[in-house]
Amino acid sequence: MSTQEITPDAYCVFGNPIAHSKSPAIHAAFAQQTGEAIVYERRLAPLDGFALAARGFAAEGGRGANVTVPFKLDACALATELTPRARAAGAVNTLRFDGDVILGDNTDGAGLVADIVRNAGVAVAGKRVLLLGAGGAARGVVLPLLQEQPAEIFIANRTVATAARLVEQFQDAVPAGCALRAGGFEQPDGVFDLVINATSASLAGDLPPVPPAVFAANTLALDMMYGAAPTVFMDFAAENGAQVRDGLGMLVEQAAEAFYVWRGVRPATQDLLALLRGAL
């Protein structure tokens, strides 16, 4: 009996820097779990050379790529087709190469929602949501959050005009019974069910100056950043009674969604999330 050699399909993650990326380990685990024949590597692209690097990878036979800082806007420009959620985000974290077509998708928002709803077991429907930040990560999660039909999303940002622009941009996607508002960090009033830190303040150990009264015992406070220790935002939210969560679940879930975009197979995430948590 002859065994047939299967050539695995090639994928990679582009970034600069990229050495820290957990994506190769995550996708290797997904491939093993699902039996999909893929190889996945890190690729450092020059700061001014993303498009060339991505086209080169596709020309080598690459089937798709993840894209991280600082290339999500370049990836959006490179794509010949965008999914509605990538168009809404104005940024692409997942590319799929289909012949001449370069499909651009954004799985960050779906990853966040999956982590909140499935992993944390917290429904977004009918809830008050406070979104801190109005940069790329925030913009990517607004549409998937609105699709969960919350009662309110308040986007608070240091530069209020940027948050106001997001509210304008997403006005047509606001479901009936939901309010989408913008303001400064000090502005949100009352308790919120969900407070999501999508600022990059945690990277510098800073805390967005939100009123402590936004937190209560049934508030889920989620920082998109993750690490071995809780962020200053998570500590602050916990001191004020909230349940806290970091961005590791979002990272794993956005990867699972990208894997689905490429392979049409949805990997399980619970065991891997626990494994990665233990290794932080």
Q: Residues in the site for ligand NDP, rule: CB under 6 A?
A: 108, 133-138, 157-159, 162, 198-204, 206, 208, 224-225, 247, 250-251, 254
Q: Which of 218, 202, 150 is nearest to 181 (CA)?
A: 150
CA atoms of 210 and 236, how far apart (whole Å):
10
Amino acid, single-letter form, for residue 232: V
Residue with smaller CB distance to ligand NDP, 182 or 201? 201
> Distances in Å between the alpha carbon of 224 and those of 31, 63, 248, 255?
25, 28, 8, 14
CA atoms of 209 and 219, how far apart (whole Å):
17
Q: Which of 64, 111, 136, 120 is nearest to 242 (CA)?
A: 120
Q: How far is the CB of 218 from ligand NDP (least distance, A)?
A: 23
Residue with smaller CB distance to ligand NDP, 135 or 183? 135
State yes or no: is 72 an active-site residue: yes
Q: How far is the CB of 7 from ligand NDP (least distance, A)?
A: 30
Instruction: Quote the tokens at residue 145.
Output: 């959050």
Identified catalytic residue from 72, 96, 127, 245: 72
How many CA atoms lie less than 13 Å away from 122 in the CB half-sphere?
Answer: 24
- Angle at which helices 23-34 and 270-279 pack, to 10 degrees? 150
Q: How far is the CB of 69 from ligand NDP (least distance, A)?
A: 6
Residue with smaller CB distance to ligand NDP, 15 or 62? 15
Of all residues in this chain, which one has the CB nearest to ligand NDP in the complex?
135
Q: How far is the CB of 1 from ligand NDP (least distance, A)?
A: 45
Residue with smaller CB distance to ligand NDP, 150 or 247? 247
Q: Which residues are catalytic?
A: 72
